[in-house]
Amino acid sequence: MALSGSSLELQLQNYRLTTAHIIYRMPDHPAFLQEYIWQELDLAPRFPVLAKFLRFWEENLEGKLHSVQVAHAELIKPAEFRAVGGMLYVN
């Protein structure tokens, strides 16, 4: 799904990098499993972009889904502040 706006704009709207590890059955050999890695900016915890992709998969692709594992992470985080205990001057 193409999202409107830049990556930075989306992240400021609370979108997070989402990775889905998708396991599906091979269409011609259902006993065999294949994997697919999907990655996009999405909104946790409902993941509407991923849900739309998985609906597309089920409606248009022959490989039946076996399992989906989802992970997400913030790319923009509050700045970390660390106080300096001392300074060393070199001439």
**Confidence at residue 18, expressed as pLDDT on a 0 to 100 scale:** 94
Look at 8-12, 26-30, 80-84 and tell me which has the smallest mean pLDDT: 80-84
Contact 37, 22 (CB under 8 A): yes
Contact 19, 44 (CB under 8 A): no
Q: Where are the domains of the chain?
A: 9-73
Question: What is the pTM (predicted TM-score) of this model?
Answer: 0.75
Contact 11, 76 (CB under 8 A): yes
- 78: β partners: none
